[in-house]
Amino acid sequence: MNNIIQEIMTKIIKDNNKNMEKLFTEHKDISRYILDTKKMLDEIGIAIVEEALKICDEIIKESSNRKKNWYV
């Protein structure tokens, strides 16, 4: 879980710096910056949900109750 947090923070910093640089150096308008930021945050949300589902899957797979009745 710590890895995903570190990856998310790295992505936020890197992508936000890139978006701000475009805003100021390429004279992009603020709406483009907002859309790029939204896209970045949507991607992060997907990564968080993906990690949560992986953890849930592992918990279910290792559940002693599940193992009584089901074989994976």
Q: Domain ranges in the chain? A: 9-63
Residue 56, H or E segment: helix 30-62
DSSP secondary structure letter of residue 1: -
Name the residue type at position 57: D
Helix axes 30-62, 2-25, angle to 10 degrees: 170
Mean pLDDT of the chain: 89
What are the angstrom distances between the C-alpha of 14 and each of 17, 31, 59? 5, 19, 33
The predicted structure's pLDDT at residue 49: 94
- pTM (2 decimals)? 0.72
How many angstroms separate the CA atoms of 39 and 25, rounded? 20
pLDDT of 2 strictly over 80 = no
